Amino acid sequence: MKPAKSGGPADPGYDRADNDDGPDNASRSRRPKRPPTASEQLEELLGYPWPFPGRPPKHDLSTWTVTDDWPDPVPVTEAEIAVFEQWFGDLFDELFGQDM
C-alpha cells in the first residue's frame, strides 16, 4: 500500500475547502476562460498599462504652429464637386437654396 500524498484526504492538515476539485471550483472550471483583451495583452507585453490610466495631459495650444500653404483659390476638380453634390446635395439645397 502506498503512503498517502501530502495534502490529500489522509493528511491531518488537509482541508476540503482547499481542494481544487470541490463543487465550488468544479463549476468554475467548466466555464470557458475569457481570452485577454488587446489592452491586457499589450500591458503584459510592455510590462506597464497602456493607454496610461487617467486623463491625458493638456496640450499647450499656444505652442502650436499652423501653416497655411494652400494656393488661393484652392483647386477643386469636377469629380470632387460631383462627389460632394451626390452625397451632400440635399444639405446644400437646404442651406443655400435649390439651383434654378
- Within 10 A of 20 (CB to CB), how many other CB atoms are there? 9
C-alpha cell at 2: 502506498
Task: Locate the domains of the chain by residue range.
Answer: 74-100
Over residues 3-54, the pLDDT tens digits come to 555 555 565 565 555 555 555 555 566 778 899 998 889 889 988 877 777 7
> In this predicted model, what pLDDT tens digit does every residue of 51-100 receive, in sequence order?
777 777 788 888 889 898 999 999 999 999 999 999 999 999 999 988 75
Distance of alpha carbon 70 from alpha carbon 47, whole angstroms: 44
Residue corresponding to grid cell 475569457: 34
